[in-house]
Amino acid sequence: MKKLCFILLFCMMSFLGIQCDAQVTFLRGRTDVDTIVVGQPFDYQLSLTIPKDYFVEWKQFGDTLSKSIDVINIEDVKTTAINNSDNVIMTQNLTLTSFDTGYVYVPEIAITYSKSLQDSIRYTLRTDEKELYVTTVAVDTTEAFRPIKGVMRQGLTAKELFPWIAIVIIIAGVVYLIIYLKKHKKTKDVVEEKKKPTIPAIITARAKLAEMKDNEVWNTPQTKDYYTDLTDIAREYLEGQFEIDAIEMTTDEIMEAINRLDLNNLTKSKLQDTLTTADLVKFAKANPSAEQNKQSFSDINNFVEDSYIYFQEEEKKKEEESK
């Protein structure tokens, strides 16, 4: 009777796809379906019963189990202790599918183990091959044909957006760098320009008049050039000292601006006489004598010095009023 029970137990274990060795170890691969529609996911569970002290080399799965079976999802291996036993149950759930039609097979899956990590003897358990039938999607021929739908745009993923975001960040960085460098250069140029010492107009005028005096330029036959240089000194002096845009003004405009200053009439007349003589030379081809040329030089020189004294007195009054 005992012998008959052992034979029956062995047959049941073979029917359930259980493989075992002399120890209490067995492996089973199980799925609740035997028919699926093409592309339909289904669950496949691996279950290994083994002594808890044994070392197990669990199967590492890729994207497929075979050319007909694709792996959609792989869960972590879970270990559960068995009450009142030295054994544990290790399980792992796989989500599989197939895109072939007809009969397909979930292949054997092998798990290797040893009695300890140091043990060089390895044992292998294998699941049984599981047969599935994959059907196509049923087509209702009584329904009218529907038009083919156009391509539907799916939402952008972070992976698709990342290159564009990176490009935008790079462009923004380059633009910011260009703006920063231009602004920094402009600020630097302004600072450097401010650092450059401004030569007072009176010093410039005195230096140019002294050079003309040393060269006695009033004796030159180039009368037109002489009066152009002489009046340019006066115009530049007025612009630098009194902020009168004399370089772009006519003689009448200059004198109109001078009249707003509280200069004495003698000083103003010296400037006007020279400017008038210069206009006659340049536009009426007048040819004054060397003595008259020298007098014009003296008039401009006196005008510069007298008007500068006036300027100093006005600045002194402003300082006293501000106290």
DSSP track, 219-267: G-S-HHHHHHHHHHHHHHHHHHHH---GGG--HHHHHHHHTTS---HHH
Dist. CA 153–CA 174, nearest whole Å: 33
12: which residues sit within 8 A by CB, 6+ positions away?
A: none
User: What's the pLDDT tens digit per position in 210-262?
Assistant: 998 888 888 888 888 989 999 999 999 999 988 899 888 999 999 998 988 88
Contact between 164 and 66 (Cβ < 8 Å): no
Q: What is the pLDDT of residue 191?
A: 53
Level-2 CATH architecture, domain 16-135: Sandwich (2.60)
β-strand partners of 29: 46
Dist. CA 30–CA 264, nearest whole Å: 120
> How much is the mean pLDDT over the chain?
84
Q: What is the mean pLDDT of residues 295-322?
A: 89
Distances (CA, A) of 208 to 212, 223, 233, 290, 303: 6, 17, 7, 19, 14
Q: What is the pLDDT of residue 54?
A: 92
Q: What is the pLDDT of residue 14?
A: 47
Strand residues in 127-208 grouped as ranges (E): 130-135
Q: What is the mean pLDDT of residues 250-279?
A: 90
Sign of the CA dihedral with 249 first, then 255, 256, and 260 last: positive
Q: What is the pLDDT of residue 262?
A: 84
75: which residues sit within 8 A by CB, 6+ positions away?
A: 92, 93, 94
| CA nearest to 52, candidates 77, 26, 85 | 85
**Cβ neighbours, 10 Å, residue 228:** 13
Verdict on whether the full-model pTM lies above 0.75: no
User: What's the pLDDT tens digit per position in 64-84?
Assistant: 989 989 999 999 999 999 888
Dist. CA 201–CA 303, nearest whole Å: 13
228: which residues sit within 8 A by CB, 6+ positions away?
A: 278, 282
Q: Percent of the chain having pLDDT more than 90?
A: 41
The domain limits of the chain are 16-135, 201-317
**pLDDT tops 70 at residue 13:** no
